[in-house]
Amino acid sequence: MPVDDHTLAQVAMSRAEYDRLIDRLDREPTEVELGMAGALWSEHCGYKHTRPLFKHFPTTGQYVLTKVGEENAGAIDLGDGWCAVFKMESHNHPSAIEPYEGAATGVGGILRDIFAMGMRPIALLDSLRFGPLSIPHNRRLFKGVVAGIGGYGNCIGVPTVGGEVQMHPAYSGNPLVNAMCVGVGRREHLLSAAARGVGNPLVLVGADTGRDGIHGATFASVELDEGSEERRPAVQVGNPFMEKLLMEACVELAEQHRGWIEGLQDLGAAGLTSSAVESANRAGTGFELDVALVPRRERNMTPYEVMLSESQERMLVIPKREHLDDVLALFRKWELHADVVGTVTDDQMATIRDGGSVVARIPIAVLSDPPQYELEPERPGELDRLQAEDLDAPPDLAAADATAALLTLLASENIASRQWIFRQYDHQVLNHTVVKPGGDAAVLWLRGTPRGIAVSTDCNGRFVALEPRVGAAMAVAEAARNVVATGATPAAITDCLNFGNPEKPGVAYQIEQSILGLSDAARVLGTPVISGNASLYNEVPEAAVLPTPAIGLVGVLDDIERHLEIALHEGDEVVLLGAVLEQPVATLAGSEYQALTLGRAAGLPSIDLEFEARVQRLVLEAHRRELLTGAHDCADGGLAATLAESCMAGATGLDASALAVAGRLDAALFGEAPSRFVVGTRDAGTLLELARAANVPAVRLGTAGGARLRLGPVDVDIEAMRETYERALPERLAGVEAE
């Protein structure tokens, strides 16, 4: 029976892909087989356009235990038998349609990835992008997403400790919601998501299966349009309480009964289809699954619907046969129901039954081998024009306007205090949050040891848009700088690659160049990629999102009691490391100051990765020698905003008024050159000496104290500044948005 275009569109499969499927099967697929292949061959599950580029990622390093792609998330060694797993994933399209549930289930999904590996989730972070908050629809999305993240994380009891949010017109209507989770545990408790052991049962545990989320994976693989609202049924509904029980049961299995099971796999995009197929593929086995054994929450569901449902809070467990009863009893104790729905086979086939009849029988190899497309990148012509713009043409900031300019920046929606967001997230549960949201990176204590980890997410889409290879490298560098500013050594990264439609040459260029830039930086900074996710087709009819390869980075801290924070303390000598005061005008390219004054991004940002690594090493070395009292990555809003944040955090002023600024004032105060830190020290002489020896420029800015920040012509009261900084977001978000 020839398949019509509508059916193919539903599974987001092209006619050519359909022909390829027939070719591989040597027959027409059944309806269930088509649905399964469509989901696994979707961009979301199959990485059709990005996989060929993954070879560029550095994947090994001294900390790496589990490499990218081997399991649901990578793992790093924390020493003394401890390890951490982490991953970041997108839930953009669902959040665009239904912000609360879209964001909530994004959190739920990333948590399952982590505890599927037997690790206890200890931290959540979110990298968010929205259109300007002046538009009511964006405010509605913003509030819904924040509420959804809090709703899920607060209920399940995993702290939301950090992340970042940026607003830009290109995200209007297509917000980005990327959730990251970090889990820790003992190395010997790491679980595999492999369906090993022929004859072992497949056990489905957790929520009943409903019609929610059918075609979620394919929905994530097409552009949003006016009809997208009708896709609301493709958005899942979360139940964090159920997931809490699942998480406790799975962690208990890993920590106490590792020997009972062969594998544990979460159900995410494409539900039972992807979890069963992926786990069999990993083990080189096959499976037989009877949909009649799957508990449902709705009547008359077809085998197709059962196999493609994305109902949340479900896990697939592969117990050893002899421990099936033990495993079922453990889930019963946690008041969960668990059912045997299939068996591991040795035929490398996915066989789906509906009671007595076989509804699908398809080689795992076919399902796991989606078509791969070489991108056809073409450098957008406008890049050369934007980069060539004369940034010196706009007049420099007048000294008399410098203070007002700083206050405007501190009140801008991209820099203003995030307190409105973070106070809605439980960031302290589990009693290990050492540095709370608001610093450069969250610091978490591995209780029972002196160690900790530092975690940060980062990406400035404006830099990436101006020159993708540079911007992506800058994202990695900034994430690493954030972690270094706490005194931790960067260990590894996860990435969430958010782009528009890869079939468009300009977007293809952004994807390719970003992956190259990300890889350049990861290699030079010693932070291999251990996990990741790609989210393409982030477009509305008007435009694509800014290219946003969001980076999540984890660093290792040997002694939690010796971490650094951004606050300055009275009496600290304040030093800028990594640059002199005078900055070329090019450092305004892609900056927040430029966005506010010019209304757009222009110019060519740049980064010297070898230099960046040198500056980061210098900060870690100075910290090792106990020279530092605090450190802050100098980034958004430039030197002036960075100092302002450190002053506010420490409730102290700084007098650097005597410094003469040569060159353009706006670039010196607000330029966003990378590779810079503001640090506090009690021994500026030794620190400056160390910097000289490392061939890193440094400037002594002044001594912290008093109630005012004075920096060149800037002169502002700390508490007045705080008022502006803290009131900006609540004021923009006041009131209730209509649907």
Partner 1 sequence: MRAAVLVFPGTWSDSDCMYALERVGVPSRRVWHRETHLDDDELVVLAGGFSYGDYLRCGAIARFSPIMGAVQSHAANGGLVIGICNGFQILCEAGLLPGVLMRNASLQFRCQDVHLLVDNRASSFTQGLDPRHPLRIPISHGEGNYFADEATLDRLEDAGRVAFRYCDASGVVTPEANPNGSVRNIAGVLNERGNVLGMMPHPERACDSRLGGEDGNAIWHSMLESVGVSSR
CB neighbours of 244 closer than 8 A, spacing ≥ 6? 155, 156, 157
The size of the interface with partner 1 (CB under 8 A), counted in residues, is 32
- Interface with partner 1 includes 54 (CB under 8 A)? no
Query: Is 623 a catalytic site residue?
Result: no
Residue with smaller CB distance to partner 1, 445 or 611? 445
Query: Minimum distance from CB of 158 to partner 1 (Å)?
Result: 8
Q: Residues 593, 639: contact at Cβ < 8 Å?
A: no
Distance CA 499, CA 304 (A): 30
Query: Is 563 a catalytic site residue?
Result: no
CA separation (Å) from 463 to 74, 460, 590? 28, 6, 5
Query: Which span sits near partner 1 by CB under 8 A: 63-71, 239-247, 454-462, 549-557?
Result: 239-247
Binding test (CB under 8 A) with partner 1, winner from 231, 427, 462, 708:
427
- Interface with partner 1 includes 68 (CB under 8 A)? no
Distance CA 694, CA 604 (A): 27
Count of beta carbons in the 10 Å neighbourhood of residue 67: 17
Query: Minimum distance from CB of 661 to partner 1 (Å)?
Result: 38
Choose, from 49, 91, 93, 189, the residue flagged as catalytic.
Answer: 91
- Interface with partner 1 includes 102 (CB under 8 A)? no
Residue with smaller CB distance to partner 1, 240 or 547? 240
Binding test (CB under 8 A) with partner 1, winner from 423, 624, 625, 692:
423
Query: Which span sits near partner 1 by CB under 8 A: 217-225, 315-323, 363-371, 433-441?
Result: 433-441
CA separation (Å) from 327 to 262, 285, 321, 663? 12, 22, 10, 69
Residue with smaller CB distance to partner 1, 153 or 286? 153
- Interface with partner 1 includes 137 (CB under 8 A)? no
Residue with smaller CB distance to partner 1, 147 or 516? 147
Choose, from 44, 189, 427, 563, the residue flagged as catalytic.
Answer: 44
Distance CA 580, CA 570 (A): 23
Residue with smaller CB distance to partner 1, 158 or 601? 158
Query: Minimum distance from CB of 564 to partner 1 (Å)?
Result: 14
- Interface with partner 1 includes 422 (CB under 8 A)? yes
Shortest CA distance to 93 belongs to which of 155, 135, 59, 141? 141
Binding test (CB under 8 A) with partner 1, winner from 434, 470, 641, 714:
434
The alpha-helical segments, DSSP class H, found in 261-376 are 271-283, 303-308, 324-333, 364-367
Q: Residues 333, 325: contact at Cβ < 8 Å?
A: no
- Interface with partner 1 includes 594 (CB under 8 A)? no
CB neighbours of 559 closer than 8 A, spacing ≥ 6? 450, 451
Query: Minimum distance from CB of 428 to partner 1 (Å)?
Result: 5
- For the beta sheet containing 677-681, the strands, ordered from the edge strand earlier in sequence to the opposite edge, are 628-633, 677-681, 573-577, 698-704, 654-656, 708-711, 714-717
State the Rg of the chain over Cα: 26
DSSP code of residue 394 = S
Query: Minimum distance from CB of 160 to partner 1 (Å)?
Result: 9
Using DSSP's 3-state secondary structure scheme, residue 455 falls into strand
The alpha-helical segments, DSSP class H, found in 90-135 are 92-97, 99-115
Shortest CA distance to 658 belongs to which of 703, 692, 607? 703
- Interface with partner 1 includes 335 (CB under 8 A)? yes
Residue with smaller CB distance to partner 1, 431 or 695? 431
Residue with smaller CB distance to partner 1, 563 or 710? 563
Residue 82 corresponds to which tokens in the numbers above?
Answer: 């401890």
Query: Which span sits near partner 1 by CB under 8 A: 150-158, 283-291, 396-404, 531-539?
Result: 150-158
- Interface with partner 1 includes 244 (CB under 8 A)? yes
- Interface with partner 1 includes 241 (CB under 8 A)? yes
**What single letter denotes the amino acid at residue 177?**
V
Query: Which span sits near partner 1 by CB under 8 A: 155-163, 352-360, 564-572, 709-717?
Result: 155-163
- Interface with partner 1 includes 536 (CB under 8 A)? no
Query: Which span sits near partner 1 by CB under 8 A: 236-244, 396-404, 492-500, 629-637?
Result: 236-244
Which residues is 287 bridged to in the sheet? 344, 350
Query: Which span sits near partner 1 by CB under 8 A: 121-129, 291-299, 431-439, 584-592?
Result: 431-439
CB neighbours of 694 closer than 8 A, spacing ≥ 6? 614, 617, 618, 621
Query: Which span sits near partner 1 by CB under 8 A: 16-24, 54-62, 235-243, 293-301?
Result: 235-243
Residue with smaller CB distance to partner 1, 379 or 436? 436
Q: Residues 129, 544: contact at Cβ < 8 Å?
A: no
Residue with smaller CB distance to partner 1, 560 or 669? 560
Convert residues 553-592 into a mask of x (bound to partner 1 by CB under 8 A) and - (unbound). -------xx-------------------------------
Strands 433-435 vs 442-445: parallel, antiparallel or unpaired: antiparallel
CB neighbours of 437 closer than 8 A, spacing ≥ 6? 160, 161, 162, 163, 418, 421, 422, 425, 427
Residue with smaller CB distance to partner 1, 310 or 565? 565
Q: Residues 543, 507: contact at Cβ < 8 Å?
A: no
Positions 444 through 463 that interact with partner 1 (CB under 8 A): 445, 447
- Interface with partner 1 includes 104 (CB under 8 A)? no
- Interface with partner 1 includes 651 (CB under 8 A)? no
Active site residues: 44, 91
Residues at the contact surface with partner 1, assessed by CB under 8 A: 147, 150, 154-157, 239-242, 244-245, 334-335, 422-434, 436, 445, 447, 560-561
